[in-house]
Chain A
Amino acid sequence: MPEKRLISRSISVPKNLFPLLHDKKVPYNSASIADMIYRQKPPGKSSESIKIHINNKAFFTLPGKSVLEACLENGIYVPNLCFDTRLKSQGACRLCVVEIEGMPGAVASCVTAVKEGMKIKTDTPYIREMVKVNLELIISDHPLDCMTCQACGYCVLQDLAYIYDVKDIAYSGKVHEKKVFSDNPFIRRDNEKCILCGRCVRMCDGVVGANAIGYAGRGFESEIIPAFEQSLLDTDCVFCGNCISTCPVGALQSKPYIKKARIWETEEVKTVCPYCGVGCVLNLQVKNNTIVNVDSDIGGNPNKGNLCVKGKFGLDFVSSPKRLNSPMIKDKSGKFKKTGWEKSVSEVSSKLGSIIKKYGPDSVAVLSSAKCTNEENYLMSKFARAVIGTNNIDHCARLCHASTVTGLIPTFGSGAMTNSIDDIKYADAAIIIGSNTTEAHPVIGYELIRCVQENGLKLIVIDPRKIPITKYAELHLRQKPGTDIAVLLGLMNEIYKNGLVDRDFIDSRTEGFETFKASFADYSAEKAAGISGVDIDSLIKAAQIYGKAKNALIFYAMGITQHTCGTENVMAIADLAMMTGNVGRPGAGVNPLRGQNNVQGACDMGALPNMFSGYQGVENDNMRWRFEKRWEKTLPNKNGFTITEIIEGAAAGRIKAMYIMGENPMISDPDILHIASALKKLEFLVVQDIFLTETAEFADIILPGACFAEKDGTFTNTDRRVQRVRKAVKAPGLALEDWKIICMLSSAMGYSMDYRNPSEIMDEISSVTPIYGGISYDRLEEEGELRWPCRQHNDPGTSILHTINFTGGKGRFIPVTHTPPAEMPDDNYPFILTTGRILYQFHTRTMTGKVKGLNEIAPANIAHINAEDAESSGISDGDKVILKSRRGQITAGANVDANIKKGVVFIPFHYADSPANMLTNPAYDKKAKIPELKACAVKIMKV
């Protein structure tokens, strides 16, 4: 043991302090206190583990871990301020000091790797004094205003001061007087409280990749600020708030949540984010039936405690005064009148009943919702099929990933993400094609960026726009919209030419390669580059990187699927992955990113015109009989209509009534003038939603639903992870959980549904849905999450698909050909319009439109246009412009954007007052019936 250099000044450290640390019960699972709990279980003894001694007791841990991690995972608390499992350790705070035999003095345990036989002491008088002195030094320059500090109760520094009995300023001297940075809607930085642990900087650089803040100045003057002390709004900050979640003190605060509650007044409810498909776990802190703060478990799955701006700050809509709080019936003058449940339910049931009687059940169509729970979607499918008697049920997956299903089922046998988010770290290369990952799926974007920086993951972005993640890409291939197949065939040709195909995989796992070869045979790199406009050298390099990678992933989203050739786009991706053997291993697979919190679940639950839950075809007699037996009803045996066909049917008078739950086709679907005329033609329209949406305006009866925070249930995220949604607050007024509304309607129409709770619905789901067979609420409570297929009660679930066999037996290569978009630019409409999401809004803004801060940052629609095009059209930055297509026209602001390719205009589709879907082309993919939202011809003029 080293010589104990006790500090000369006498300081008292309370004696029985370490039991206090070890038994520390954490009353609130908020971000910074959660740091004290290390979520990883100790690995135990195995062939890989090594033995170490901590405080004279033997423990096992894995090589590569730090001493701090080894202590924490074995339940031995070592004080720390600058450590976060999400970040690379830096050794800045000097609180995690321990004594290690053979090493002089005190060692910072977070930056010391464990070694076999290491003898560590965390609890010696020397260490105690060391920690206390370090704490005293920090506190000497930290304001002691805990009584008014928002972080009071979950501040690690405060806790440690309590434990080590640090009462007052031990070292008087110059203290910092620094300013507060708060000139943005979300993040407040008070640098007087900053202890310069650097966690926020490491978070911003290493995980989020925004590089918005950094150290400035030197010595006593150093502080953490945005460059040039500018507002965060002028930096690349994405307002994810992850810096706040990692701050161990009160220096960083969520501005909208300040002075809403003290942490001990709140109750914490763990649930799942209602925005995109990543499925981040949220901890809602609730006081007086209001959400007063949002956090996430650090280290927890799937998001590790990271969130994006919408999950962290975008939940104000829950308590919006605009929420629907009562059923409403449209009177003769066209005005909505509030009414009770009894009247509205009997009205809906009698109107639907008489329409079914008069025109038959197939004159009714149902739109289910990717925002609602699995249980609700299952009931909606049951309601359509068993109560109304039609298979005319669909939901917005038609508009996003219908072509994924029609493209991946024939090739792989399953249309879901093959890998899990946790898998990204095993990949050597990844292609992102047609996905603006950091804006549409931010938390998956963080993981990709982290892996690029920490693991050397080689990223290839194939996108017409210079999207934010290209900053971290090895290569950016900028194709013209609608030429993805040409690029993919070019890659395959290059890979084949250079002998980078995986022969063993092709021979043993797949069929049809020999016939398929003709597809890419004449797509030389020159030809592919010629059609798509990508740089030929980059194409060749990309083929080398993807072809040579040991494990490679492909991520794709709407840029691939929303084309008239969507199905073939997807098949081309599957072909590329199979030919290089990149399927079925950790870090190797094909991953369609799902856009809605529960779009995967809504598909799984059979909110589709041709499938029952678990992708069991309605035209397959054996599968239908299973449901007929369970539901005790004869069910329709012909595939129903898709959304696209339902709208056409309504326009043509074949569909007479619609029941729309939690969907807003008036903004989200292509050619909305056409949709408006179709909805007007309906004899009867029921809309069930949380707000009076643009679609609800057309309804005869509006039913108020409960939002995600007001109900129990489950969501299934993009990587097939079923997670629990929990009720945190009461729904406003008469609003009810959607499953309860469906049950009421069903019972009123003569088919009794009397579930007491969603758990009972899940039991029914698992009894008829083999891939959900092992899922129950008890297991979800216990295990947190389960990934389907999970067939039995003892089945741990499936993290990677197609490991030994493809779901469909063998993988099938399917030939593809390049087909240009249905509408190409011409002299009258010279630009290709492509639509998409932005970070600060979500879909039809039904939810984000009610969040003040988000609309301060992104208040209005902006069309992004290339500088050359802007010049030739006489448009400058900030002008108002008219965009016109063959279907309609809209006005928007103009942004001259270097990230846009010449000849292309990009516009987000969120804004009802400037709806991009007024312009888009409803032409659709023949197999998937998905409309071509990603390419149509427009002209653009200055107002």
Chain B
Amino acid sequence: MQISDLPKYPLSQDEITVINEVIKKYRDKKGALIPVLQEIQKNIGFLPVEVQKKIAAELNIAEKEVYGVATFYSFFSMIPRGKNDIRVCLGTACFVKGGKKIADKIQKELGIKPGQTTLDRKYSLQVNRCVGACGLAPIIIINDKIYQKVKTEEVMDIIYSYNK
């Protein structure tokens, strides 16, 4: 994954206000970098490049330092988690029953790859290996709900039902 390929997820006004407040709270404090990153990660769910640059400039820390810390700890992420988390099973049973086609269809329709999130941050996509429900193959899981024997042509209807 290259940073330059990351889409620019727009931030809401509320989120920007939160970010500014966090930075303001820690400005002029020593060792502020990790707490600032933590609070922003907690509130916004991810650390966009622009936000990291802003932190660097305002806290007077080198950009490479901020980026180094943000990429070091697995708690931090530069990709937001979508509101709805779609997982497609690509275990052997699901795969032969059309799981691959389902995954391809979702990627094409939502315009994201596994591990990515849509620009409106509504959906993120992951592919799983076998989840142990081979009798129900092919399956997809959205948030905590399992959909069984999914047909390729129906899958987008299921997904878009979360759009409401």
Contact = CB atoms under 8 A, between A and B. Distances in A.
Contacts of A213: 64
Contacts of A205: 62
Interface string B22-61: 0000000000000000000000000001001100100000
A235 B72 contact: no
A227 interface: yes
Contacts of A235: 63-64
Interface string B1-40: 0111000000000000000000000000000000000000
Contacts of B3: 228-230
B71 A217 contact: yes
Contacts of B2: 179, 229
Nearest to A226: B64
A211 interface: yes
B62 A214 contact: yes
Categorize the interface residue count of chain B: 10 to 19
Contacts of A217: 71-72
Interface string A782-794: 0000000000000
B65 A214 contact: yes
A211 B72 contact: no
A216 B67 contact: yes
B66 interface: yes
Given A228-B63, A229-B2, A214 B68 contact: yes
Interface in A212-243: 212-218, 226-230, 235-236
B67 A227 contact: yes
B72 A227 contact: no
Given A227-B63, A228-B3, A229-B3, A216 B49 contact: no
B74 interface: yes
Contacts of A236: 62
Of B2, B3, B56, chain A has the most CB atoms within 10 Å of the CB of B3
Contact of A216 (B62, B68, B74): B68
B66 to A, nearest CB: 7
B74 A218 contact: yes
A227 B74 contact: no
Interface in B95-154: none
A212 B72 contact: no
Of B52, B63, B64, B66, chain A has the most CB atoms within 10 Å of the CB of B64
B71 A216 contact: yes
Contacts of B62: 205, 211, 214, 227, 236
Of A212, A215, A227, chain B has the most CB atoms within 10 Å of the CB of A227
Interface in A293-325: none
A227 B54 CA distance: 13
Contacts of A230: 3-4
A190 to B, nearest CB: 16
Contacts of A218: 71-74
Nearest to A219: B72
Nearest to A231: B4
B59 to A, nearest CB: 13
B79 to A, nearest CB: 14
B64 A214 contact: yes
Categorize the interface residue count of chain A: 10 to 19
A231 to B, nearest CB: 10
B96 to A, nearest CB: 29
Interface string A123-140: 000000000000000000
Interface in B57-96: 62-68, 71-74
B65 A211 contact: yes
Nearest to B73: A218
Contacts of B67: 214, 216, 227-228
Contacts of B52: 227-228
Contacts of B49: 228
A61 to B, nearest CB: 36
B34 to A, nearest CB: 14
A218 B72 CA distance: 5
A212 B4 contact: no
Contacts of B56: 227
B76 to A, nearest CB: 11
A217 B1 CA distance: 12
A212 B62 CA distance: 8
Contacts of A215: 68, 72
A230 B3 CA distance: 8
Nearest to B72: A218
Nearest to B78: A228
B4 A229 contact: yes
Contacts of B63: 211, 227-228, 235
A36 B49 CA distance: 41
B2 to A, nearest CB: 6
A744 B74 CA distance: 74
A482 to B, nearest CB: 30
B64 A212 contact: yes
Of B49, B52, B53, B72, chain A has the most CB atoms within 10 Å of the CB of B72
A214 B4 CA distance: 17
A856 to B, nearest CB: 20
A593 to B, nearest CB: 27
A228 B54 CA distance: 13
A211 B60 CA distance: 12
Nearest to A234: B63
A484 B45 CA distance: 51
A211 B64 CA distance: 7
Nearest to B61: A211
Interface in A76-132: none
A227 B4 contact: no
A236 B74 CA distance: 27
B5 to A, nearest CB: 10
Contacts of A211: 62-65
B65 to A, nearest CB: 6
A205 B62 CA distance: 10
Nearest to A236: B62
A820 to B, nearest CB: 35
A882 B37 CA distance: 45
Interface string A470-506: 0000000000000000000000000000000000000
Contacts of A179: 2
A205 B49 CA distance: 22
A619 to B, nearest CB: 56
A923 to B, nearest CB: 40
Nearest to B49: A228
A228 B49 CA distance: 7
A145 B86 CA distance: 43
B17 to A, nearest CB: 24
Contact of B66 (A212, A226, A227): A227
A235 B74 CA distance: 25
Nearest to B74: A218
A236 B66 CA distance: 15
A936 B23 CA distance: 41
A69 to B, nearest CB: 29
A205 B61 CA distance: 12
Of B3, B52, B71, chain A has the most CB atoms within 10 Å of the CB of B71
B100 to A, nearest CB: 25
B69 to A, nearest CB: 9
Contacts of B74: 218
Contacts of B4: 229-230
Nearest to A223: B71
Contacts of B68: 214-216, 227
Contacts of B66: 227
12 contacts: A205-B62, A211-B64, A212-B64, A214-B65, A214-B68, A216-B71, A217-B71, A217-B72, A218-B71, A226-B64, A229-B2, A235-B63
Given A211-B63, A211-B65, 11 more contacts: A179-B2, A214-B68, A215-B72, A216-B67, A216-B71, A218-B74, A226-B64, A227-B56, A228-B63, A229-B2, A229-B3
Nearest 4 A-B pairs (CB), nearest first?
A214-B64, A211-B62, A227-B63, A227-B67
Interface of B: 2-4, 49, 52-53, 56, 62-68, 71-74
Interface of A: 179, 205, 211-218, 226-230, 235-236
